[in-house]
Structure 1
Amino acid sequence: MAVMLDLRQAVVQKMIGSDQNGLREMIEGSIGAQEAALPGLGVAFELIWKNIDQSKQNELITVLENALKSSSAAPRAK
């Protein structure tokens, strides 16, 4: 678990001080990039999730659900 905490802290430290453009660049640069970028997106999502109310969480879940339904990568039910 210490490794995960260190990774979280490293990602947060890298994001601290970034303005909105910098944060957007970090997110957009990580999407579709090598899998090594995924933990950073996970930490960013965790920060977002912890700092929004339940209605916004529900909205995000709906967006995710709809994206999965429309994704060609999603496994199809038989």
Structure 2
Amino acid sequence: MMNLNLRNAIIHNVSGNNQSQLKDTIVDAIERGEEKMLPGLGVLFEVIWQHADDQEKTMMLETLEDGLK
């Protein structure tokens, strides 16, 4: 139940944000490198994944695979 509340809180905090605000949130989380920011990035990725078509998912997986080489 705690995870669901965290997920909902993260989504609530960024709902209605424009692309610039979303980018700032992502860049800030990555640049800070704080462990506590990882769940938020995970939730944002979950939203992206859920709304991506198969081609977009393949592209993300290829990018991820290349980045992990």
Give the shorter-chain TM-score range: over 0.9
Counterpart of 1:31 in structure 2 is 30
RMSD over aligned Cα, in angstroms?
Answer: 0.7
**Alpha-carbon shift at residue 17 of structure 1 (Å):** 1.5
What is the alpha-carbon distance in structure 1 between the residues aligned to residue 28 and residue 59 of structure 2?
24
Alignment of 1:1-78 (within 5 A): 2-32=1-31, 33-69=33-69
Give the TM-score of the pair, scaled to structure 2: 0.95
What is the alpha-carbon distance in structure 2 between the residues aligned to residue 14 and residue 34 of structure 1?
18
Q: Deviations over 1:34-65 (max 9, x none)?
A: 11000000000000000010111010000000
Structure 1 portions without partners, runs of 5+? 70-78
SS of equivalent residue, structure 2 residue 68: helix
Counterpart of 1:75 in structure 2 is none
User: Which structure would you say has the larger Rg?
Assistant: 1
The sequence identity of aligned pairs, in percent, is 37
Which amino acid counterpart does residue 26 of structure 1 have in structure 2? T
Larger proportion of helix: 2
Which amino acid counterpart does residue 53 of structure 1 have in structure 2? D
Aligned length, in residue pairs: 68
Where has structure 1 moved over 4 Å in runs of 4 or more?
none
Which structure has the higher relative contact order (CA within 8 Å, separation 6+)? Answer: 2
SS of equivalent residue, structure 1 residue 31: helix
